[in-house]
Structure 1
Amino acid sequence: MPMRPAEQQWLLLEAAADATLVVGRDGLINRANRRTAEILGWQPAELIGQSVEVLVPPASRTAHSSFRKAFVASPRPRMMGAGLELTAIHRDGHEVPVEISLNPLVTEEGEFVVVAVRDISYRLHIVSQLNETAAKLAVVDERDRIARDLHDNIIQRLFAAGLHLQASLGRPDQDPQLVGVIDEIDEAITQIRTIIFTMHSLRGMDAGFEPAVRLVLAESSRVLGHHPSLIQHGVLALVPDSLASEATDVIRELLTNVAKHARATHSSVNISVEDNWLTVTVSDNGVGPDRETTPAGLGLGNLSQRANGYGGRFSFDAGEAGGSMAVWAVPLA
């Protein structure tokens, strides 16, 4: 026996990828396909005979009833609430972000409205991620602009001022004062360069922990006179982003300390992720600390505070084969 047209139409609705309802002119649900259970948590049999407003958030039910009656009076295929953020009520009470299309349906049983409900949760999640990425890129671009301005304008002007002052050296009554000013300018240039390196390193963090560390090593080689080696143990991807950023700053500071005090021709950075701990070890073959040298005396006291803040530890000692060895270790969680 051939199927009646109404049965054929229903088979098509049952095969739809969206949650699909057939609603009468009175607003009561006449049919619901199996996707309704998957998307909204309602078994089809539970919805039959109920008002379609059961799927509408309580605050919108009165307005929805009026809109529904207006649609029944002049039915035509259209999207519901175009441009608005719509939600449907899941059976457990939470709201599901949806798109809804309305289509009039005339059968031998009467006039109905086919309501297709599409879950757009994943799409909104992707849009949110894209917006977040765009915001991060905007911040990174702004940092790059500031870094360029510092390098191209401020540092060059400081260099020019320093050269001008150096050219003025020669008068015995001015030399001590001018030398002090020149030293201050050199220190300011060093600090600005550090800021620039930090800004570029923040861009590197977007690519991951290891690329950010390699960027710091490349930048530090300019003041060290050599390129530090990098040794890795474990999976660096296990390190949370915030901790990876902190560790990158620690590596930068330790290498800066090597450049200032060690007079080393070789240095290495060892990063280990083992037993739920992150350990950063920076070693060099320089002069090494004397017995009275303390981390605070080398400007490294804040590294102990940083480690303590994570429940970790920091040590600075002579290396086993000479030079110095700094160890910064913190738990991953």
Structure 2
Amino acid sequence: MSEQSRSEPFPAGDASFRRVVEWAPTAMVMVDHEGRIVLVNAQAERLFGYARDELLGESVDRLVPSRLAGHHPAYRAGFFADPHPRPMGSGRDLFARRRDGSEFPVEIGLTPIEAGGSFMVLAAVVDITERKRQEERFRRVVEFAPSAMVMVDRSGRIVLVNAQTEQLFGYPRQALIGEAVEMLVPERLRGEHRQFRSGFFHAPLARPMGVGRDLFARRADGSEFPVEIGLNPIDTDEGTMVLASIVDITERRRVQQTLENALQEKTVLLNEVHHRVKNNLQVISSLLNLQATHASDPRLRNILAESQSRVRAMALTHQLLYERKDFSRIDLGEYLDRLTQLLLSSYREDSARIALRCVLPGEPQFLDLERAVPCGLIVNELVTNAFKHAFPAGRGGAVQIELTAVGAELDLAVSDDGVGLPEGFDLAGVTSLGLQLVPLLADQLRGRFTVASGEGARFALRFPLALPTRRSR
């Protein structure tokens, strides 16, 4: 070959065209009808490792791996028989060969160029080594994922599955690839599944599938099983696809059902326990009442009546738990309102001259059983004390129970407009069993108890709405 043919391989070429090719961001190689290289750019030199003079006039097969070179002339002849722009080797993996003999994966775009009454082909060559590496990494991640992974294209065809999918559904991989994904959906659900799939591709965002619905899948043997499915859109050269992560939740459902059954049994048991405790306390109250009617000593009758009132206050907590079917807590306001009615019935003879009112906050204030009982007993003792001592000699007046929420604390007060407390009254020095119980019960609530006297008496207890959790040692 002459020096002129090497330096001017494409004498009809346009200078502007040469500049465009030279400064293209991808490797560009122009080949004539006989397969000889007539033009390369700087990117081609860098990509293949050849100097330009080493390529011009040589066969393009030099850039093709030896194992593939035998097929290349036939592909080249096919292109020149029908020269139109298209990707090369559609559906095949393409490889190129560097000067040092190493191979690398490529994508090649072919464009026919008319020159001197004949066609040449301009090939744009892109090294896709990094892309292939990323694809392989993605495939490995999918393949070894702990859950079944199924990739589906826009038309609903399966393009990728992993080993967990084969194991979960009972299909070999080759039986799934290229098939409609609806083969993994129970027949009764396939129609709506197509609609949901279309909806996903209209707004492809990562999200769980079928929020609020029970999802089921179908195995190769036709059996159905409950699943959870996460959907992730994946951008590919073929367009957006969806990668579905599928988890069999059969065992989770079984455990959940077992827990629900156990919870139901526990609820029934607790309901029965509170019902029986309430009934037993009512029996005790009736026995105390019966004993009081047979006691001739007025002082003993009063003692028995006070004990009966305490038992009824405790029984009321179990009654509310039984009625509301919430065994962890009761509304303190509702409890105090019901306790007020019980106390009024106990002092029926005095209720004509002594009013008993209960003032409650607008919002429910919940307490557990362990602390509701001390609250009830405190109110019971203070109201009983007011009815007995605040209104002597037939005097009229009012007793008020008041519950107030103060931040994270509650104020519980019992006040009256009676004669007030004796001069020098000291709660620590009282001999009455009921008032002796009040400080002890207040300590159980971790509360602060105060007493005030003036026009009547006021006993107030402030305690935390929720006790701090105990730290394990």
Please tell me the TM-score bracket, short chain as reference. Answer: 0.3 to 0.5
Greater relative contact order (Cα < 8 A, sep 6+) = 1
Q: Which has the higher helix share?
A: 1
